[in-house]
Amino acid sequence: MNWDWEKLQQRQKERSRTNGSGTGGSGPRPPQVDDIINKFKNFKFSGVWILIIVALLVLLAGSTMVYTVQTNEVGVIQRFGEFSKTTQSGLHFKLPAGIEKVTKVKTKRVYTEEFGLKADELSDSRSFGVSNDEIEVAMMLTGDLNVGLVPWIVQYRIKDPYNYLFKVADVRQLIRDMAEASMRLVVGDRSINEVISKRQEIAVAASVRLQKDLNEAETGIEIVTVELGNTNVPEPVQDSFNEVNRAVQEKEEVIYNARKDYNQVIPKARGQAEKTIETAKGYAINRINEAEGDAARFLSRYEAYMEAKDVTRRRLYLEMMENVLPELGNKYIVDSQQDNLLPLLNLGLKKGVPNAGQ
């Protein structure tokens, strides 16, 4: 498009003359407040403009009367700043802005607060460590007067929107302060070895303690979980602490081996002792039974002897001879009235054995 530069320059000169009449022609004069007010006074509203303004006001008020609450939210209605009611998920209506105000609170969302964590390790909460920027938060005094580094996280959700909005001024700061106080209290009741080896137990105790404090403060917060990271001792004393742990482990290993040997030797010795005792008891019972049998047999013979002494005496003699004579070997019977024997008779007597006639 071609411009008519001569006409444009002529218009600018006319404007500069008109605006510069009161300023000595030094330049264009800016619009004054009086001029603007006079223009509004001279402006006349027609019926069309009034309808347009009313329609805009109605649309503006209507847009503030309708609101939507999501499935994970709860709507809190305030009327002239005072709590009125709560609404669940869905489409709702309220009075226009300036009369009623709605605040949406996410009751199903899980919030997380970190204490002494490394930013690059938050993705794996089971192995997170201590950040150098927050080492003072993670540094705690244990029950045995040692210093431990305890990083942890707290996950929570909003349970009571009314208490959450109106009972506490700064809920997040209150949670951080109470979480740190609860963790320090729980860690202060345990030794450094327990802090390092019993993280789950400490996390549960800290969660219970923190929930109790939050309920007493009427914060409307529900603790979902408390999880500890890699607990350890400060870096300057880690080498010494590891040496102590190795010494303790060696001590426990020696005690374990001693108990193992004890459990192997002592039960075996006790078994042998019980076996010997039972054998002795069996032998004693056997000897007692034999003695009782011999006594019973002797009494029966004695009773038979008392009834027939001659017959019993002869029977006993014959039974004895029956047992003795087979053990004597060859026997020679010589008449007692014989005066001498033939000298050539070889009786086969052994040296030291007396003559049968003696």
CATH code (residue 134): 3.30.479.30
Same domain, residue pair 99 and 69: yes
Do 222 and 148 share a structural domain? yes
81 with 183, same domain: the answer is no
In a domain, 102, yes or no: yes
Contact of 186 with 179, CB cutoff 8 Å: no
Residues 115 and 225 in one domain: yes
Please give the residue that has the higher pLDDT: either 264 or 32.
264
Given phi > 0 = left and psi -120 to 50 = alpha, else beta, which region is 124?
beta
The last residue of one of the domains, among 213, 233, 253, is 233
More confident residue, 95 or 163: 163
Same-domain status, 96 and 125: no
pLDDT-derived band of residue 80, with 50, 70 and 90 as boundaries?
confident
Q: What is the DSSP string of 7-70?
A: HHHHHHHHHHHHHTTTTTTSSPPPPPHHHHHHHHHH----HHHHHHHHHHHHHHHHHTTEEEE-
Last residue of some domain: 175, 199, 233? 233
* Structure confidence at residue 338 (pLDDT): 65
Q: 327 versus 331: which is more confidently predicted?
A: 327
Model pLDDT, residue 356: 44
Give pLDDT tens digits for 151-170: 999 999 999 999 999 988 88
Of the candidates 263, 250, 226, 48, the residue with the CA atom closest to the CA atom of residue 152: 226
Q: Is the pLDDT of residue 39 over 70?
A: no
Q: Three-class SS of residue 4? A: coil
Is residue 258 a part of any domain in this protein? no
**Domain annotation covers residue 326:** no
Q: How confident is the model at residue 357 (pLDDT cuts 50, 70, 90)?
A: very low
Report how many domains make up the chain: 2
The better pLDDT of the pair 317, 34 is held by 317
Say how far apart CA 115 and CA 151 lie, in whole Å: 6
Output the average pLDDT for the chain.
78
Based on the fold, state whether residues 151 and 207 are members of the same structural domain.
Answer: yes
- Answer whether 77's CB lies under 8 Å from 110's CB: no
Among the three residues 106, 122, 151, which one is the final residue of a domain in this structure?
Answer: 106
Structural domain harbouring 85: 41-106
Do 51 and 153 fall into the same domain?
A: no
Contact 195, 147 (CB under 8 A): no
Task: Pull the structure tokens for residue 335.
Answer: 């008449």
126 and 224: one domain? yes
Please give the pLDDT value at position 354: 52
Q: Are 229 and 125 in contact (CB under 8 A)?
A: yes
**Are 86 and 169 within one domain?**
no
Contact between 221 and 159 (Cβ < 8 Å): yes
Looking at the fold, whether 45 and 119 belong to one and the same domain comes out as no
Tell whether 58 is covered by a domain: yes
Pairwise pLDDT comparison (313 vs 270), residue with the higher score: 270
- Maximum mean pLDDT: which of 126-140, 155-169, 289-303: 155-169
The secondary structure element, H or E, covering residue 209 is helix 199-216
CA distance 188 to 144: 8
What's the pLDDT band for 222 if we cut at 50, 70, 90?
A: very high
Global confidence as pTM? 0.53
Residue-by-residue DSSP string for 68-126 = EE-TTEEEEEEETTEEEEEE-SEEEE-PPTTTEEEEEEESSPPEEEEESB-GGGTT-TT
Rounded average pLDDT over 333-354: 57
Is residue 256 situated within a structural domain? no
Q: Are 92 and 75 within 8 A, CB to CB? A: yes
- 277 domain-assigned: no
The most confident of the ranges 16-25, 81-90, 263-272 is 263-272
**Running DSSP on this structure, what letter comes out for residue 231?**
-
Tokens, residue 160? 């009571």
Within-domain flag for 140: yes
pLDDT average, residue stretch 118-126 = 47
Q: Do 126 and 190 belong together in one domain?
A: yes
Coil, strand, or helix at residue 160? coil
151: in domain? yes
What is residue 228's three-state secondary structure?
strand
Q: Are residues 88 and 125 in the same domain?
A: no
